[in-house]
Structure 1
């Protein structure tokens, strides 16, 4: 070592510093030989490295020959690790304060014994300063905080990926997701609101999947498609012989099927008033009676309802019971339309592309121009419209890159106008038929369901289904 020649006159003649370093160095690889102090068994300082003196403000050889106990007594070191080694005769690792420079350092002290087990030397070396330790601790705490945050995010993403099909990036949907997590395991009724196609059913399924009822059934009922004369029997079930055409063995209703799980009533605003009364009684008592039945059946289920209507206005107009509304509106989850959360368009589009490419055995990608179109489009039919568009394009496109040229005419402004249709050659019946077909196609591509088409055009759902089958799917 470079400092072996600088040993003081007090250094015993039989000490080989290089051998001493070799003895000490294996100790946890923490030894910095250039920052060391050596004393004899009585505490007399025999040797101090120049680096030690420089780092801690000692003049060269100024403490060599002094007693470690005196240096402890006068406050040079607090505590003096050399003195501690001599007192305890064991390895010590602790913080030592060099008071002359007001500096705290982590110090390791090692006792060296002779062949008879008698203490012969005490060696001290400093590893890192307290400033370094504090910095390490701050960095460690920062890493712990970051790790906790990343762990929470990973757990959240894993929950989303394994139990739900929800994909989002926008701040509004992040807040909605937090609300869903906080309320998933409560018993409170949930009212989901939002425009047609925003994903109310997907949110309801996600809440069920995150809840402690996830192992139970999830029963979804679209109240808008139930025939008015059959709504009660579909929901509440019936006993045998309840009405003409009824099953001879009776039937369990949708509500009863949801026992120990979740009942999701979509388009709750479509329920007629007399069914609303029965639903209110069900919520209050948690019991039902099947049609023509006399026995009350106790049920345990979570109720989630959804609507694209303004139920407050429906209450004012007398179309929806106020007492039922307040029972349902315990937790309100409003899903913003897609046009107000454009950050979600790209993740959703890529999710749909991956799913439909898998279903139809294709490998496709979006062009930048196509993605730019998706982002600027208004999406009146919301997520459902985006999903239907991606599926349609995956089926029909020929190129591996999906560009704006693959868009249907109604998205590019190239669709035939009503005036142009009526100006075409043909009989009045043929022209009116073409016009009707254009209306049905535009409505269906806008909303994506025959229920929504029926509502928009003021026709029955059955009529809408027939016309969609004729003009869209034929």
Structure 2
């Protein structure tokens, strides 16, 4: 048989050509029918083969790509960045996100082919179109963001419409706006205000406004627990840490709070030795149980509150200055009830409704009674107001609570207050005004000597007038009751 090629029979050559042709057609079929985009370049980055799907993906035809160099195509924006260029540089398999001229986003993997001499001869790129999945991911993120916003709004409204009221005064509206803003900001907050203004409620509201809302809210009154017990309550203790310790040890409230919120009420009462430990907690986010040498992590958010002047305590050496500045990052001052008198009727109505429901009654309060209650300065704030409303509901034997019912149980409230809607004898008005001044003065300054100094009268006069007020109050009580 005549040979067509040196060293190889003609028939064998035909067979090999047929095999290579079949292999090429199979590979071409695979490349053209796969959902992924496949390109092959030589060792210099010139495109040798591309799958049919590349035309739609890259925005140019197959014939426009074959024979072109990837450097040129990348520079013209057909695709960017070029995975082939990176593989040629680093000579290893790489993956990256690529954008094309047609607006597609591809996840591209470039695979180098290296011959037996260690020379890079081909780069095969397999690209997966992730445009739709990226869009779906973005839409999902936007939807989640929108859902979070709706959840937050629903939660805010639930808190505002909860079985509790905050008030409609300008000062309280500003506080709630601030609480909404800082709820999810992981910063240290201290609540300032007199006893009974609602500091614990604001602390719970901050917790509910935060992402920690599903976690525990743990409250501890630093002034209500004996000094020798508060350390173990806060930090816990190990087995055998001291006589009387629980056998298995005990978790402290800082640990019990987990990833929730711990509210340290009356922080000004915290003993000095524990102030050092609390400072460590705030700085290092770690604490030690009593009897342990291994720290545990503090993951809870800490909110503190006080009715004391911490600056004054610092000056007196009763409160650590460094701890004061650590706690005082975001101070929120809650004004006393007397400074937001417009909120008093709201609280009266709320407490009246609550008591009526509690005792299965339907009591009402007259307009004059509202004026009397609104005139008082409420040193005990909301807590005191709630107490008085409940006493009025329970003790009044009529459906409508009148001002005299208030005077019966609460002699500190002045009888003649507010606007002058009717005329009374000037002597009575003067006596009533004098009574108000004396009662407020003795309430504030505690001693008759101090009251005498302030009012510029003799101490004996103060004592005499206070005895008269006490006697009149007793007579009023007897006359109304018997």
- The interval holding the TM-score normalised by the smaller chain is 0.5 to 0.7
Pair 1:408–1:218, CA change in 2 (3 A): farther
Q: 1:180: which partner in 2?
A: 179
Pairing 1:390-429 to 2, within 5 Å after superposition: 390-407=389-406, 409=408, 411-413=410-412
- 1:318-339 CA-partner distances (Å, limit 9, x unpaired): 1111110111001010001100
1:286 lines up with 2:290 in the alignment: no
Q: 1:170: which partner in 2?
A: 169
Q: Which runs of 5+ in 2 are unaligned?
A: 1-149, 415-439, 445-482
Q: 1:202: which partner in 2?
A: 201
- 1:141-166 CA-partner distances (Å, limit 9, x unpaired): xxxxxxxxxx9xx9687233455733
Aligned to 1:343, what secondary structure does the other structure show? helix
Residue pair 1:164, 1:205 contacting (<8 A) in 2 also? no
Q: 1:126: which partner in 2?
A: none
Q: Which runs of 5+ in 1 are unaligned?
A: 1-150, 416-441, 447-474
- 1:382-441 CA-partner distances (Å, limit 9, x unpaired): 1111011111222222211111222264623599xxxxxxxxxxxxxxxxxxxxxxxxxx
Pair 1:352–1:333, CA change in 2 (3 A): same
Residue pair 2:286, 2:295 contacting (<8 A) in 1 also? yes
- 1:228-260 CA-partner distances (Å, limit 9, x unpaired): 111110110111111111111211111111111
Pairing 1:68-467 to 2, within 5 Å after superposition: 158-161=157-160, 165-407=164-406, 409=408, 411-413=410-412
CA distance in 2, matches of 1:414, 1:337: 17
- With normalisation by structure 1, the TM-score equals 0.54
CA distance in 1, matches of 2:289, 2:277: 11
- 1:157-203 CA-partner distances (Å, limit 9, x unpaired): 72334557332010011111111111111110101001111111111
Quote the RMSD (CA, aligned, Å).
2.6
Aligned to 1:229, what secondary structure does the other structure show? helix
- 1:298-334 CA-partner distances (Å, limit 9, x unpaired): 1211111000111111111111111101110010100
CA distance in 2, matches of 1:177, 1:326: 24
CA distance in 2, matches of 1:299, 1:407: 49
CA distance in 1, matches of 2:186, 2:291: 30
Aligned residue pairs, count: 268
CA distance in 1, matches of 2:384, 2:368: 19
CA distance in 2, matches of 1:310, 1:356: 35
Residue pair 1:238, 1:250 contacting (<8 A) in 2 also? yes
Residue pair 1:213, 1:261 contacting (<8 A) in 2 also? yes
Pairing 1:36-75 to 2, within 5 Å after superposition: none
- With normalisation by structure 2, the TM-score equals 0.53
